[in-house]
Amino acid sequence: MEPFSETEMEGTSGSVVRNESLESSMRNRIVRLEQDNSPYLLDKAKGEYWTQIKQQLDHIHSQDEYNRRIEFENRDLQIRERKQECLRLFNHILAQHPPLEDLAPYNPQEALNDFLDEHRQEVDKRVHFEVQKGDREHIAFLEKLLSDLKNSGPDAVKRIFHPPSPSNN
């Protein structure tokens, strides 16, 4: 094992310095999501999600492209982790307050996922093709939702099931 957290790989158009510590962190975080059977890993078999990311990183031949790709994958993983944490808290609240499920317009987990997807679609409309900006806004929204679920519990779940219309904000 090298004492450094970065390694240099030869590519066809030069060398790429790899951020091994970030890659290792991402791999371990993906393993945790796999252990939780996260639906946010897109039904990929255990190990498949990381394998695909690693293969993409292994075939990058410029430092700028590597940096952009690993930053994108890290933000994407942060979104998946926060969604998983929201789901965990959401399910915990439902388990503690079973009557809340009756307020769901349909399957509670699908309602949560639709709520999350609708927010992302609104962000994407607002920021157009600025993926990094959209990701950061969505991460901030997920952080706020996590806080709301922790602090407001049942009321937060009710807002997920019946969000205020945009004109009422």
pLDDT, greater one: 2 or 102: 102
Give me the percent of the chain exceeding a pLDDT of 70: 89
pLDDT tens for 79-135 read 999 999 999 999 999 999 999 999 999 999 999 999 999 999 999 999 888 999 999
* Nearest C-alpha neighbor of 109 from the set 96, 124, 121, 92: 92
> Given this model, what pLDDT does residue 13 score?
45
The span from the CA of 57 to the CA of 59, in Å, is 5
* Nearest C-alpha neighbor of 48 from the set 59, 69, 33, 66: 33
Kindly report the pTM of this predicted structure: 0.87
The span from the CA of 40 to the CA of 77, in Å, is 9
Q: Is the pLDDT of residue 151 over 50?
A: yes
pLDDT tens for 61-78 read 999 999 999 999 999 999
Quote the DSSP letter at residue 44: P
